[in-house]
Amino acid sequence: MSTNEIQTASNFIRHIINNDLKQNKNNGRVATRFPPEPNGYLHIGHAKSICLNFGTAAEYQGTCNLRFDDTNPEKESIEYMESIERDVKWLGFEWRELRHASDYFEQLYQFAVDLIKQGKAYVDSLSPEEIRQYRGTLTEPGKESPDRSRSIEENLRLFEGMRNGDFADGQYVLRAKIDMASPNINMRDPAIYRIRRAHHHRTGDQWCIYPMYDYTHCISDALENITHSLCTLEFEDHRPLYDWVLDQLDVPCHPQQIEFARLQLEYSIVSKRKLNQLVMEKHVDGWDDPRMPTLAGLRRAGVTPNAIRDFCERIGITKKDSWIEMAVLENSIREDLNENSPRAMAVLKPLRIVIENYPDDQVESLEISNHPQHPEMGSRNIQFSKTVLIEQDDFAEVPPSGFKRLIKGGEVRLRGAYVIKCNEIIKNEHGNIVELRCTYDPDTLGKNPEGRKVKGVIHWVSEQHSVPAELRLYDRLFNHPNPDTLSNFLDALNPHSLEVLNDCRVEYSLASSGPGSRFQFERMGYFCRDLHDTDKGVMVFNRTVTLRDTWGK
């Protein structure tokens, strides 16, 4: 595909790639990769990188690998790897090859031996604390380790001993020999191997030394013939090290590292450590809790892959970090669900209505469209009977100004059915309204009553023909726009992020819906049938998002 054929929104990365193609760099190839560490579930921030890497490859008819950076076995697991594969596929992307950094452990070791032979790496016995002290500061150069002058022969012997398990964890590290006076601290002899006796989920106990990320990542890119290594801005200061390592070694290619701003979403956190803390301390119900910013949580909440891809396209790709308002994500979700979700009626807090002039044993089947703008989505049948349920909030004994719902002596239309009039209020011994006695106008099905105008329209379900349901009203997990800026992010937890309603009723047509089915509950919001809680005896629906942005209003 020529650069002129790329019609999608422009960004600085596309400009770089277009220029590379004009110069026939990489023989016109574009190859990217998405390289997560399998130490947690993917979150909305990863979605931006996924869409960028896979999307860029697709635009240029290139390739994109999924590669697990599995060099830290103590924090990684098969569960996380499987969840990452599932999330990437759910977003709508396919990788060319599935790779693991552990695939290259032997090659990485031999490359390290090569660096030692060149006199560009040495085995160091300084402790982690001593290494930090020797490293210097941003304004002061570091000082050389006493072990920096070891002979090549001794370094080779010690490094082999590290591999063979001759030394204790932490006794030695292998460091690159670069420049202890470099203004870039990352270039002050960084560690590239450490001793760590940890069982690896793929290589078992074969290795007791593991390579560091900065060393592993660039070589993995080169071995996979990646052309453009796209990563977030925190790696910009690491780029000189990326280039230095590859410049010293005989690798198939030298990929170009390009940094972009990571996604920072208000009212959210994307630190895996903090997300894991939320799970472990049971502030949420697992990694896929619908309040979590994980892709698994968003999926369980009812968010679609299309909405997330649309969101990532809207926020664009920049070189400058900035905060994205939560409303931007919610608007992408609303627009997608509004367009594609069938309508249904659900009563969250039921109030009983007895229609006194409706025949006791009569039941009507009323046909209602599934989507007002999309007739191709068909229709469904709703049963109407003598007793129906409406929302408690749709009746007011003492109505506020401008109230257009049901009042005593007033009329309202039941959605898709008749106009009813409230004649009597029934209260219990505590003075609470428990029932309304109404009448209906049989001549108002599908038409307005003659001689009077009824403004209000409310939703309802038949008491006899509706189905019990539990509705979970999820809201933002944090009530502070930037919880990461607080000394304790848990202080920003929103105590009202979940309200569970157990006495709801939904129309009978929803009884056949499967887990993950999405609906707009008319006047209530967008809901999704829960993916897991299908054995509770009642249906469970999670609120994905409200009909409009009401946060803080």
What is the spatial distance between Cα 126 and Cα 129, in angstroms, rounded to a whole number? 8
Q: Give me the residue label for tokens 């409009």.
A: 548
What is the spatial distance between Cα 230 and Cα 100, in angstroms, rounded to a whole number? 17
Cβ atoms of 288 and 294 within 8 Å: the answer is yes
Tokens representing residue 166 in the block = 């001759």
Residue 401 DSSP code: T
Cβ atoms of 269 and 297 within 8 Å: the answer is no
Q: How far is CA 197 from the centre of its chain?
A: 33
332: nearest Cα among 298, 299, 306: 306
Active site residues: 37, 262, 272
Within 13 Å of residue 100, how many CA atoms lie on the same side as its CB? 19
Query: CA angle 29-31-36, nearest 5°?
Result: 175
The DSSP bridge partners found for residue 357 are none
Residue 381: count of CB within 10 angstroms of its CB: 12
- H-type helices in 126-238, by residue range? 128-135, 152-164, 213-223
What is the spatial distance between Cα 70 and Cα 420, in angstroms, rounded to a whole number? 65
What is the spatial distance between Cα 439 and Cα 434, in angstroms, rounded to a whole number? 17
What is the spatial distance between Cα 98 and Cα 109, in angstroms, rounded to a whole number? 21
Q: What is the 3-state secondary structure (H, E, C) of 26-40?
A: HHHCCEEEECCCCCC
Residue 499: count of CB within 10 angstroms of its CB: 12
344: nearest Cα among 377, 380, 378, 375: 380
Pairing of strands 518-521, 343-344: parallel
Tokens representing residue 534 in the block = 């299908």
DSSP-assigned states of every residue in 83-148? HHHHHHHHTT---S-EEEGGGGHHHHHHHHHHHHHTT-EEEE---HHHHHHHH--SSS-----GGG
DSSP-assigned states of every residue in 350-373? EEEEEETTS-TT--EEEEEES-TT
Q: Give me the residue label for tokens 């428990």.
A: 434
Cβ atoms of 545 and 526 within 8 Å: the answer is yes
What is the spatial distance between Cα 490 and Cα 40, in angstroms, rounded to a whole number? 19
Cβ atoms of 366 and 384 within 8 Å: the answer is yes
Name the burial class of residue 450, with classes exposed (0-12), middle (13-18) and buried (19+) by CB atoms within 10 angstroms of its CB: exposed
Tokens representing residue 352 in the block = 């009983």
Q: Over the Cα atoms of the chain, what is R_g?
A: 31
Q: How far is CA 273 from CA 126, 269, 441, in A?
A: 28, 10, 61
